Amino acid sequence: MKYLFILGRNIPLSIAEVFSFFNRSGIKILNHKIVNNGLLVEVDKKIDNKAIDFLGGVISIGEIIGKNEPELESVDLYHGFNNKMSYILWNFTDSEDAFNQFSDYLKRRFRDEKLKAVEHRDPRSSKKIDEEYFVFEDSFGRIIQKCDYKELEERDMKKPVRRQELSISPRLAKIMINLSEVKAKGKLLDAFCGIGVILSEALLQGLEVVGIDVDKNAIEGAKKNIEWLGIKRNYKLINGDSRRVNIPKMDAMASEPDLGEILKKSQKEENARETLEKFEKLMVGVLNNLRKNISGKIVFSAPNIKTHNGRMGCDINRIISRTGLQLTAGPFSDLREGQIVGRDIYVLE
């Protein structure tokens, strides 16, 4: 089976997420190739028809149909439209000839089948799109799953308790869960759970979760947000300091700690270093307390601060040397234009 993953803006992070997703799903990647923001993977098993719901850094998933016109002739390329349809043909090839060959084939076939079909070249088209196809090098395929951004936005914006400046998005929460490679029905810890964004996304995936936060109001907010989703079981919330609390045995951890003060302008290097050293000390204390009860991967974000002379991140080697853990992936930088404090994501084990 060959699938195309159309990746979001942070391509390195999205690639790492897709690979981790397959690992946690027990699906072996036989081969892969990247062209622009298109990742084509050959795998040994069929993916779930709702795989996109588990991914935060993927726009769409497509499936290869064929490499030439004879292979496409027996394939139904549209789903019961009367006599009109609009479609997009994604281009993941450097060969205009290959792209135009499939583009011309679609136009000719739709015309022969007396279908009024309009091709849109811009994926951001405001027009209603009925079907999406793609060309990846010399292969043609169809988009079979698309991210439901409206549902994600509603889950983010309409939850009863929000902390806009402090909480991560559901999209990033999904990415971090995948990077943890926690298995289906596994147990996931969030040592800095805040109002429960990571916990909520994990519970929606059928995981069992434990959330810790020193802020009692945050714990109460997490409870309200989880209950708002209609979930009443498989979670435990602890109001306490993750450097001291006792936890049950967990399979993995995914957390966004406090990244420091919200800043509006670039910092002096000495100020940034002070913030980063405080963060490193916190993480050493937390990981040394919790790691003995975490059997798998530990995923966390760390501050990446813009200074007058460039950007500065935490000293991961200091954390590693003082905890006995190993870096298995990262850092993956997640930075927005104009953002003073961004994040680096690390995976330890």
For residue 264, what pLDDT is reported?
Answer: 78
Nearest to 144 by CA among 4, 31, 1, 7: 4
Place of tokens 């988009």: 143
Can you tell me whether residue 129 is helix, strand or coil? Answer: coil
* Domains with residue ranges and CATH for the chain: 2-147 (3.30.2130), 152-348 (3.40.50.150)
Does 331 sit behind a cis peptide bond, omega within 30 degrees of 0 on the bond before it? Answer: yes
84 band by pLDDT with thresholds 50, 70 and 90:
confident
What DSSP character marks residue 214?
S
Checking phi first, is residue 196 left (phi over 0); if not, alpha (psi -120 to 50) or beta?
left
Residue bearing the bigger pLDDT, 39 or 165: 39
Burial class of residue 118, CB neighbours in 10 A (0-12, 13-18, 19+): middle
> In degrees to the nearest 10, what's the CA dihedral of 312, 314, 316, 320?
160
Task: Express each pLDDT in 144-173 by its tens digit.
Answer: 999 999 999 999 999 999 987 767 999 999
Task: Express each pLDDT in 26-37 by its tens digit.
Answer: 999 999 999 999
80 band by pLDDT with thresholds 50, 70 and 90:
low
For residue 261, what pLDDT is reported?
Answer: 76
- Per-chain mean pLDDT for the chain: 94
For residue 69, what pLDDT is reported?
Answer: 84
For residue 75, what pLDDT is reported?
Answer: 87
43 band by pLDDT with thresholds 50, 70 and 90:
very high
- Cα dist from 287 to 291, 294, 323, 337, 347, whole Å: 5, 10, 7, 31, 13
Q: Which tokens belong to 179?
A: 């990077």
For residue 126, what pLDDT is reported?
Answer: 57
Task: Express each pLDDT in 235-244 by its tens digit.
Answer: 999 999 999 9
Query: Phi/psi at 144 (nearest 5 deg)?
Result: -115, -15
The mean per-residue pLDDT over the stretch 259-272 comes to 86
For residue 47, what pLDDT is reported?
Answer: 96
The mean per-residue pLDDT over the stretch 200-224 comes to 98
Supply the angle between the helices 269-290 and 316-323 in degrees, to the nearest 10: 30
Place of tokens 């810890």: 189
